[in-house]
Structure 1
Amino acid sequence: MAPTFVVVPQWQGSVSPRAMRLVDGAEMIRGDLPSSATAVVDVPVEAGDAIESGIHRLSTILLVRERQAAVLRGVSDWALTIGGDCGVSLASVEHAARQHPNDLALVWFDARPRLHTAESSPSGGFGGMVLRAISGEGRPELLLDAASTVPLDRIILAGARDMDDAEAEVIDRHHVPVLSANSLETPDALLAALREVGASRVYLHIGLDVLDPAALTGLADLVPFGLEVEALTRLITAVRGEFTLAGATIAGFAPATIDAGNDDMSSILRIIGAVTR
């Protein structure tokens, strides 16, 4: 079946100076989606409060998670979530994992591993903590229930190239596979890693900063030496050819202007096409 598109224009999980552009990016993508298959999650304009958690804007992040989960409960098959910041994957991975609790693997395409907790994060932004929460560690109010947690031994980091020491320690301790952009020029290493974890169903998180800034200008975070669009779509197609897709996220589109955003949209639509066709 075709996916339901769930648009979540959340910016509160990002600490980038470009964070507010994430709202514009989500809305721009929404304009090219079929309206009959698209649901929009209402995201407050206000920043929200940390509520003594060490996580910026946590109150709004929790509210959006609740609203997003309510929308996802109405999805009949699988959802392609459009962010917003990378934090929107929390509710979407939770939804997919509840449907497929025993055989779900997570491929995390992102320049950063997002494996901080509030205690280790140098920024306090939830966007840098979301994958750690998905794997079952962090603030209690952000964790998934036991049935929908995706453990680190079923997560593959694809294209990560900017990580802090605390994140590197987690990766080393749990032996999380990290596939460099160079190793992803062909799908072989990624498919082998998925076979190694025994996956049959896969969730794809696609933080657009996995791409090289020269390939897509409208990025909230600019991290050089990333993937080209063609390489990313080739990887997505290969994963879908061997494994069942349980859901996906595309996040991090932050166009500086309408014209610049329009220049990027052909690439983003190619990525959406690879995920959905």
Structure 2
Amino acid sequence: MNKNTLRLVLPQWQGGMNQNYILGAQLLAAIVPPSMQAETITVPTSVAAVGNQQVDAQETLLTQMKLTTDILATKQPAKVITLGGDCSVSEAPFDYLHGQYPTDFGVIWLDAHPDISDPQTSSHVHEMVVANLLQQGAPAFNEQVQHPLQPEQIFFAGLQYQDLRPMDAAVDTLKIAYATPQQLESSDLIGDWLKQQQIKHLAIHWDLDVLSPDSYRSILPAQPGLDQSQFCAAIGSMTLTSVIQLLTAISAQTEVVGLTIAEHMPWDAINLRNGLARLPIFE
């Protein structure tokens, strides 16, 4: 890792309207491997969620994304590590990186869900961030994207394709490449895509929800006591070991210039903090 790597701690929560993502990002900053050569900046985020009736917290999110963009424009890093926060934290860094590497850039979206909805099917920006990067999402966010991606520059890895909802229809209509967890185990679809699209610089978005709750407990569907059959979205099935092996293999095939880790939901820490907050001694 060279000195021109910027590590962004971005505890943005309004994209998923869940303030628990704040603590998730803060703890990720302590968990990820330290580097004496990478500068770390914590992006200020609001406790407010100001927006309109169509997109939750739109005004607040646009302001925070503009601040992230300004930081990147000032620092001009060659590589960006982003620690979120909800999935919307990748929007500004990936747009910036595409501007830095305009001709051979690609994105792997490692997620159980494609995050490719729009305001007609969702009010949460973390469910439309990929659409925004394609300038096919929420209009105000489309306008903020300066270096829009093309569908062939995106690969959905670990996608629970069999559980796609109507809000995810753009996966098929835009013909975006994907691999289910089972396909990742038995073929090198990602390697083939990297070669076909001549990707030399890659950004990886890793939503921890791609993992199975049995493999990793700090994700939304691993909430203690939750009946997973009643969970409102697809549940990931990959193991932590298999994801690390996948990321290692990808890193050997092309240069990874961006890495986001998002939607960290450390339930034990959250519940401990909430419980302690009820004690008078902490008032």
The TM-score, its normalising length taken from structure 1, stands at: 0.84
Q: 1:174 maps to what in 2?
A: 174
Secondary structure of the corresponding residue to residue 143 of structure 1: helix
C-alpha contact (below 8 Å) 1:218/1:260 kept by paired residues: no
Instruction: Map 1:2-21; keep pairs closer than 5 Å.
Output: 2=2, 3-15=5-17, 19-21=18-20
What is the letter of the counterpart of residue 197 of structure 2?
A: V
Note the C-alpha offset of 1:260.
8.4
Question: What is the root-mean-square deviation of aligned Cα atoms in Å?
Answer: 2.2
What is the letter of the counterpart of residue 38 of structure 1?
A: T
What is the letter of the counterpart of residue 151 of structure 1?
A: Q
Q: 1:215 to 1:157 in 2, by over 3 A?
A: same
Cα deviation digits, residues 134-184 of structure 1 (max 9, x gap): 11212332126786111111111111114212423x222222112001111
C-alpha contact (below 8 Å) 2:107/2:203 kept by paired residues: yes
Secondary structure of the corresponding residue to residue 107 of structure 1: strand
- Structure 1 outlier segments of 4+, above 6 Å: none
In 1, the alpha carbon distance for the partners of 2:35 and 2:197 equals 35
Secondary structure of the corresponding residue to residue 220 of structure 2: coil
In 2, the alpha carbon distance for the partners of 1:140 and 1:67 equals 19
Q: Which runs of 5+ in 1 are unaligned?
A: 262-277
Q: 2:71 maps to what in 1?
A: 71
Bigger mean CA deviation after superposition, 100-109 or 218-227:
218-227
Q: 2:226 maps to what in 1?
A: none
C-alpha contact (below 8 Å) 2:212/2:236 kept by paired residues: yes
In 2, the alpha carbon distance for the partners of 1:156 and 1:44 equals 32
What is the letter of the counterpart of residue 61 of structure 1?
A: L
Bigger mean CA deviation after superposition, 96-105 or 145-154:
145-154
Q: How many residues align?
A: 253
Q: 2:269 maps to what in 1?
A: 258
Secondary structure of the corresponding residue to residue 39 of structure 1: strand
In 2, the alpha carbon distance for the partners of 1:146 and 1:45 equals 24
Q: Which runs of 5+ in 2 are unaligned?
A: 223-233, 273-283
Secondary structure of the corresponding residue to residue 116 of structure 1: coil
- Return the match for 2:251 from 231, 240, 248: 240
In 2, the alpha carbon distance for the partners of 1:90 and 1:180 equals 23
Note the C-alpha offset of 1:30.
1.6
Q: 1:27 maps to what in 2?
A: 26
Instruction: Map 1:11-160; keep pairs closer than 5 Å.
Output: 11-15=13-17, 19-32=18-31, 33-34=34-35, 37-50=39-52, 52=53, 54-73=54-73, 74-121=75-122, 124-143=123-142, 148-160=147-159
In 2, the alpha carbon distance for the partners of 1:155 and 1:239 equals 14
C-alpha contact (below 8 Å) 1:5/1:81 kept by paired residues: yes
What is the letter of the counterpart of residue 24 of structure 2?
A: G
Note the C-alpha offset of 1:187.
6.6
In 1, the alpha carbon distance for the partners of 2:264 and 2:204 equals 16
In 1, the alpha carbon distance for the partners of 2:270 and 2:146 equals 44
Report percent identity of matched pairs: 24
In 2, the alpha carbon distance for the partners of 1:231 and 1:42 equals 34
In 2, the alpha carbon distance for the partners of 1:146 and 1:38 equals 24
In 1, the alpha carbon distance for the partners of 2:80 and 2:70 equals 13
In 2, the alpha carbon distance for the partners of 1:145 and 1:187 equals 37
